[in-house]
Every structure is written in structure tokens, then in C-alpha cells.
Amino acid sequence: MNIKATMGICREIKQGKDKLMVIPKDPEEFENNELVLIVSAQDFINFSEEATSVIKFINGIKEMDKMD
């Protein structure tokens, strides 16, 4: 899987009420009309911690399987 990542800045759009636009730091990383997922830093940290827990759990099961 090829995952592209970049940081960006949220800017308020003057034409739209309560609308934000994300301006990526490296716009050349992405193609026109490409789907991009935007998450907050805290949500990313929470996801990373949960993913790490799942990976540790799976590795623990693999180690138990080697003992048999």
C-alpha cells in the first residue's frame, strides 16, 4: 500500500459560512480530484495508539503459537 502524507493549514473560506479549506504543504503529492482523508492530530494519535495495541496483541498471539 502506498500512503501519501503531508501536513496542511486549515483556512476559513470567506464565501461559505462555517467552511474550511485545507491547503496542503506539498500539493504536488496529490492528483486532481484525488480523495484525501483529513483527521485532527488528536484523532491521529488515538488511532495510532489503538493500532499499536492491536499489533502488540497479534504479536503476542504469534509468540504463544510458537510455544506450542
* Inter-residue contact 39 to 47 (CB < 8 Å): yes
Q: Full-prediction pTM beyond 0.75?
A: no
pLDDT in the model for residue 16 = 66
In the chain, the amino acid numbered 63 is E
SS3 per-residue string spanning 6-63: CCEEEEECCCCCCCEEEEECCHHHCCCCCCCCCCCHHHHHHHHHHHHHHHHHHHHHHH
pLDDT digits (tens, 9 = 90+) for 30-51: 888 877 777 888 888 888 899 9
Separation between Cα atoms, residue 22 and residue 10, nearest integer Å: 5
